Structure 1
Amino acid sequence: MISGAHVIVYSRDAEADRAFIREVLEFPGVDAGGGWLIFKLPPAEVAVHPTDGEPRHEFYLMCDDLDAQLAELAAKGVEIARPVSEQRWGRLAALRLPSGAELPIYQPLHPVAHSL
């Protein structure tokens, strides 16, 4: 039986991004050995989208109130990399990780499956 999913985020500064996830996003985690941190994620869901190009994978954080979440993160000094935009499927923004990469975050307007 499948017991979970493991998401990998590649980073040019993994140590700084791990600290961000631990200290700013406050995700609990375990040390898998030698300081290699693996974090517990909130409930998740997966969608499969068609593509004409090369297949790729994306990782988005989800929240119930995007404006409140962004305000809380901004108060912690997090840079909002992309301001809120209205999509037909939700309200989308992005956070700036310490490595410089963007981490999308959105408030879904579609039915969610993560709590089924």
Structure 2
Amino acid sequence: MINGMHAILYSPDADADRALLADILRSNTVDAGGGWLIFALPPAEIAVHPTDGALAQELYLMCDDIEGTVATLAERGVTFEGGISDQGWGLLTTIRLPGGGTLGLYEPRHPVAAG
């Protein structure tokens, strides 16, 4: 039986990205050994979208109030790319990770499967 999901972000600056995730998530962590932190996440959901192009995976954090969440995270030094855009299905922005990667953040307007 599936009891959870484990996502991995690869980064050239894993320590900085871990520190940012610790500040964003403020969740429980475990050390898998040697400083390899694993962060607890809120409930998750997964979707499959069709594509005729390249195969890809995307990772998004969800929130109830994107403007409030962005303001709080910005006060903590989190950098965002662009503003908040209205995608119809939700409000979306992008968090810039210190290692150069990105992480989506959105406030869904669609029914949510998790929780």
Contact 1:93 1:104 in 2 (8 A): yes
CA drift of 1:15 comes to 1.0
Q: Which runs of 5 or more residues in structure 1 are unaligned?
A: none
Give the number of aligned pairs.
115
Superposed CA offset, 1:54-88 (max 9, x none)? 32111000000000000001111111222100001
Partner of 2:25: 25
CA drift of 1:49 comes to 0.4
* Aligned-residue CA RMSD (Å): 1.1
- What TM-score do the two structures reach when normalised by structure 1? 0.93
- In the TM superposition, 1:1-116 aligns within 5 A as 1-115=1-115
CA drift of 1:53 comes to 1.7
Counterpart amino acid of residue 35 in structure 1: G
Q: Distance in 2 between matches of 1:12 and 1:27?
A: 23
Q: Distance in 2 between matches of 1:11 and 1:61?
A: 18
Q: Which runs of 5 or more residues in structure 2 are unaligned?
A: none
Give SS of 2:72's match: helix
Identity of aligned residues (%): 56
- What TM-score do the two structures reach when normalised by structure 2? 0.94
